[in-house]
Chain A
Amino acid sequence: MNVANEKVINDLLRPIGYGKGFLIWMSFLTAALVACLYAYVIQLKVGLGVTGLRDYVSWGIYIANFVFFVATSLIGMLISAVLGLTQIKWASPLARIAEIISLAFAAVAGLVIISDMGRPDRFLYLFFYGRIQSPIIWDVTVVTTYVVISTLLLYLPMIPDIALCRDRLTHVPKWQRKLYEILSVNWQNSENQQRIIRQGVKTLLILIIPVALAIHTVTSWLFAVTHRPGWDSTIFGPYFVTGAFVSGTAAVIIAMYVFRKIYHLEQYITVDLFDKIGKLLVLVSLVYLYFNINEYLVPVYKLKHADAAHLHELFQGRFAVLYWSVQLGGLLLPIILLLFKPMRKPLPLLIVAIFVIIGAWFKRYLIVIPTMQHPFLPIQNVPIEYQIYKPTLIEIAITIAPIILVLMIITVLSKTFPVLPIQEVESHEDN
């Protein structure tokens, strides 16, 4: 091991540990989470009536949030598998960040669904009495599988790094050393062990592609298997998958920026890396734009009766401001801006990514809610709050809770393990 490698290891292991900043940040998150959980307790006691959900709009921001979570979790597949298997080297240092984001979002996505249930105690009935014909069963299956694959894909390549933690981090608390001890599974860096990991990771990288495609395609089928205007689409699967890459890439950019600043990894998460992932964001956004054009232009051209009412609401009606803000500010403008190199520098890219990810969230809102406000049979003789969906404060708090939970998971993981794969970075430095 040469001096340069020694420096890499030290730099990448340095952020590990639970310092003052970590404690303050986690206490803040915990306090916020407790407040949001209190809102959930109210919902549990009183029922879904405390939300803005009624007969017509029965899927509100909870489901929009769920779709957003599943979408964002797909990034692990893109960066680790697609770019990894095609030997695109620049992306390999980002694999772990992408996997952490994937795991956090995928694991919490299941909880988001439960928050939409009036009787969460009946959740297990899904397994006892679920019908295999229902896309909901498929969704539960793939989400669970994806969480397991993401965990393995985060863990397996990290074993050598955990062994490094075990060997080098002697100043950490005892329980943490014990944790490294267990998780590093007697890693000796032997040829045999390396071979097992190589093979395992390779299998996982291949498996994760169909599973990740399935998870978001099935999520899109929850909508697309109905006849309703706005959902009745044959391209919903790829439309969702490409949209997922956009929000996931934006999430990785934000994480990259934060880790770079806070963990002082400027030397490893380089300006050049931002430039490259900025280009990746343009690419996936262009693909998504292409699917958007298909998804909206074709129905607009045909203007079938039911679609017409729906599209009118989006383009000129009640949702127009939101729709055009999302499409222009969250998709078209970022594409144009990121074509210019100065915009792909860390800070401008971060700002664009924040716009993209907010746009991505509201895009899910626009996919879920307007359709529910346009049933085929006219809405008659119901109070106004049944006709127009307006999320309540309690509902918003319960929607924020999973986001806090994701931040907590990412924080803890990134403070317990090195956020960049040490071996990958070493070989990068060597090159």
Chain B
Amino acid sequence: MRIIERKRVILFSTLLLFAIAGRAEEWQVPADKEKRTSPYLFDEQMRKKGEDIFKRSCASCHGMPGQGNNIRSLVPIPPDLAEKKVQQQSDGAIFYKITVGRGAMPSFKNSLTEQERWQVVAFLRSFNKDYVQPPLARLVDSAKLRSVKVIPTFDTVQHKVVVLIKAFQKTDTLPLSEAEVSLFVQRYFGNLPIDSVRTTSQNGLVTFNFPTNLPGDSVGNVQLIVKVNHEMFGELEKTYTAKLGVPTIKPPLTEKNAMWNVGKKAPRWLIISYLLVVGTIWFFLIRIILSIRKIKQTGKNPKL
């Protein structure tokens, strides 16, 4: 009972904490972020893509906008995003909140690209009839983006990843400063962020500390994702393979004889026990069945 009591206290205080967080002052958005506008026109295609993302990543808590099927048992209550309180915020504010998250609301910085986050905003705006999209922000010049070069070096001894970012600036391809670089390792469900987001220095370099105990494939290879984001040059993503992991050989669970395996790969002890038990019982049963024939023969010839 005391354990239950204690659990209740913990549960209660956790809920209280969430409630306090929920009631805390309005979610402040930095002024420059609030003023940001989308570089993309919110057209039907944007809206459709945003809807797909929304269903996948947002609807489980917020419900579909305007339908009031948000989960009200959560603290704070994730608002129905068609609400006026949400819609009167600027595009930049909504974009910022999706990007950084707060409390129970996760950050989508790593899982959605900027364009995808704007698609979600486009979808949300389709529930506001009075909405008029503000002038588009200047989209990054694609030629500029193409000029960005990502040059990683993998130090498998020191377990460090150094990334050099270069881009065409004025007259030549030079190291790019002030670029946000983040590093991930591919895994089955979502990417694993490595170290923290770094910003390139004057010489265009960032250094990530790589964990020493990350399991790789049979020779230790891991798939790395480098994401680069720069205000002027836009964002891009590159994947690499490097021997930074611990070599891991995990035979599939279906390889050996096991309880969960197919019939042919049943545990041997089980097959033996089954056959032994069934065999013994049926040995005697068949003997008894045969003895009935003997009764018959004896009856024909009483001398037997």
- A145 CA / B261 CA spacing, docked (Å): 26
- Which residues B251-304 have CB closer than 8 A to chain A? 259-263, 266-267, 270-271, 274, 278, 281-282, 284-285, 287-289, 291-300, 302, 304
Chain A residues whose CB sits within 8 angstroms of the CB of B302 once the complex forms? 188, 190, 192
Known: A145-B282, A149-B285, A207-B285. A190 touches B298 (CB 8 A): yes
Secondary structure class of chain A's binding surface, majority of residues: helix
Determine whether the beta carbon of A192 is less than 8 Å from that of B281. Answer: no
- Rounded to whole Å, the gap between the CB of B73 and the closest CB of chain A is 12
Which stretch of A88-96, A167-175, A195-203, A401-409 is in the interface? A195-203
Chain B residues whose CB sits within 8 angstroms of the CB of A129 once the complex forms? 263
- Residue of A whose beta carbon sits closest to that of B267: A133
- A200 CA / B284 CA spacing, docked (Å): 9
| Residue in A133, A141, A159 whose beta carbon sits within 8 Å of that of B278 in the complex | A141
Asked if A204 is an interface residue, CB under 8 A from chain B, the answer is yes
- Rounded to whole Å, the gap between the CB of B271 and the closest CB of chain A is 6
Determine whether the beta carbon of B295 is less than 8 Å from that of A145. Answer: no
Chain A residues whose CB sits within 8 angstroms of the CB of B262 once the complex forms? 131
Chain B residues whose CB sits within 8 angstroms of the CB of A196 once the complex forms? 291, 294-295, 298
Determine whether the beta carbon of A203 is less than 8 Å from that of B278. Answer: no
Asked if A187 is an interface residue, CB under 8 A from chain B, the answer is yes
Give the number of chain B interface residues (Cβ < 8 Å).
30
- A195 CA / B299 CA spacing, docked (Å): 13
Chain A residues whose CB sits within 8 angstroms of the CB of B267 once the complex forms? 133
- Residue of A whose beta carbon sits closest to that of B293: A185
Chain B residues whose CB sits within 8 angstroms of the CB of A187 once the complex forms? 295, 299
Chain A residues whose CB sits within 8 angstroms of the CB of B296 once the complex forms? 185-186
Asked if A211 is an interface residue, CB under 8 A from chain B, the answer is yes
Asked if A193 is an interface residue, CB under 8 A from chain B, the answer is yes
Asked if A379 is an interface residue, CB under 8 A from chain B, the answer is no
Determine whether the beta carbon of A193 is less than 8 Å from that of B285. Answer: no
Determine whether the beta carbon of A186 is less than 8 Å from that of B295. Answer: yes
Determine whether the beta carbon of A185 is less than 8 Å from that of B285. Answer: no
Asked if A148 is an interface residue, CB under 8 A from chain B, the answer is yes
Chain B residues whose CB sits within 8 angstroms of the CB of A1 once the complex forms? none
- Which residues A194-223 have CB closer than 8 A to chain B? 196-197, 199-200, 203-204, 207, 210-211
Determine whether the beta carbon of B263 is less than 8 Å from that of A185. Answer: no
Determine whether the beta carbon of B281 is less than 8 Å from that of A207. Answer: yes
Chain B residues whose CB sits within 8 angstroms of the CB of A132 once the complex forms? 263, 266, 270-271, 274
Please report A residues at the B interface, Cβ cutoff 8 Å.
129-133, 138, 141, 145, 148-149, 152, 156, 159, 185-188, 190, 192-193, 196-197, 199-200, 203-204, 207, 210-211
Q: What would 16 more interface pairs be, CB under 8 Å, given A159-B295, A193-B295?
A: A133-B261, A133-B263, A133-B266, A149-B285, A185-B292, A186-B295, A187-B295, A192-B302, A196-B295, A196-B298, A199-B291, A203-B284, A203-B287, A207-B281, A207-B284, A210-B281
